[in-house]
Structure 1
Amino acid sequence: MFSTTPKHVIFYEKTGCSGNARQKALLREYGVSFEVRSLLDTPWDVPTLESFFQGLTPKEMLNPFAPQLKEGTFTLEDYTKESLIEKMVKEPILIRRPLLQIGDVKLCGFDIARLNLLLHVKMPTPQNINACLSSDACNNA
């Protein structure tokens, strides 16, 4: 552990998501403080979402388990990065979870290597940390 004061994380989740629960448990295990907010209930706008997606491709921004993908009613190739963000403002279930804010740094997804650097911890990368497991009792991505 580093001697610097641990940073606080704002953790935007889908309430009840067991994948997000595993991620929060890992943060808790390593002494990281966090505040949980609902990804689906937050009133998003384009500039705010864009700030989480810097340097990402549309595929990296997209929740691969979104119901629209499973049902075949959404095709990523039909969207530019800008139009995808506009759609995500209206349908936040499409956003890859979690969105994380650590000070001025914003992240999309649970990137343990980046989190370790930002939070001054050494979390391992559990195999299922970013997975939506078929054994999870989740009916909405």
Structure 2
Amino acid sequence: MRVLFYEKPGCVNNTRQKALLLAAGLEVEARNLLAEAWTAPFLRSFFGMRPVAEWFNRSAPAVTAGDVDPAGLNEHQALALMLADPLLIRRPLLDVDGWRSVGFEAADVMALLGIDLNAAQADESCPRRDGHRCD
């Protein structure tokens, strides 16, 4: 099974998440989330019924600085901001045979792919403590 994995290249968590999928025997095609030619409808398709605030990368500079308040945005405002600044997009974005999702929540991934990731703790927060940002 092939997984399209939209990531920020160099992201430590995305690297770990891809390794889990590869270890489970899946084919992972990594794509640069920041370089993708997004359209609002295509990007929107990854968020499903999630509240708008859950679409956002909580570590994005504009969010941490308080310039963007995900909880105060509607769908159209959120998509416009994300198209202008892809760092705002929560990652990874996953596409498996047309099933799309945002974030790496092990339960969702396990259910979809029928694999056991119980041992994996797929954390979306930035693990770096050396002063560098994971944005």
TM-score (ref. length: structure 1): 0.87
Q: Which has the higher contact order (CA 8 A, sep 6+)?
A: 1
After superposition, what is the alpha-carbon deviation per residue over 1:91-115, rounded to whole angstroms, capped at 9, x for unaligned? 1110100000000101011121121
Q: Residue 90 of structure 2 aligns with which residue?
A: 96
In structure 2, what residue type is equivalent to 1:110? F
Q: Residue 61 of structure 2 aligns with which residue?
A: 67
CA drift at 1:83 = 1.1
SS at match of 1:121: coil
> Segments of 4+ in structure 1 off by > 6 A?
none
CA drift at 1:89 = 1.1
Aligned length: 135
After superposition, what is the alpha-carbon deviation per residue over 1:55-108, rounded to whole angstroms, capped at 9, x for unaligned? 011111010100112222222244212210121111111010000000010101
Aligned alpha-carbon RMSD (Å): 1.7
With over 3 angstroms needed to count, the CA separation of the structure-2 counterparts of 1:136 and 1:59, relative to structure 1, is farther
Q: Residue 49 of structure 1 aligns with which residue?
A: 43
Q: Give 2:123's match in structure 1, choosing from 123, 126, 129.
A: 129
Cα contact 1:63–1:96 (8 A) shared by 2: yes
CA drift at 1:120 = 1.6
In structure 1, what residue type is equivalent to 2:105? D
Q: Give 1:33's match in structure 2, choosing from 17, 21, 27.
A: 27
CA drift at 1:137 = 7.2
Q: Residue 12 of structure 1 aligns with which residue?
A: 6
Cα contact 1:67–1:140 (8 A) shared by 2: no
1:37 and 1:79 map into 2 onto residues whose CA distance is: 27
Runs (5+) with no aligned partner, structure 1? 1-6
2:90 and 2:106 map into 1 onto residues whose CA distance is: 15
1:122 and 1:54 map into 2 onto residues whose CA distance is: 24
2:104 and 2:119 map into 1 onto residues whose CA distance is: 10
- Residue pairs, 1:102-113, within 5 angstroms: 102-113=96-107
TM-score (ref. length: structure 2): 0.91
1:108 and 1:49 map into 2 onto residues whose CA distance is: 10
Runs (5+) with no aligned partner, structure 2? none
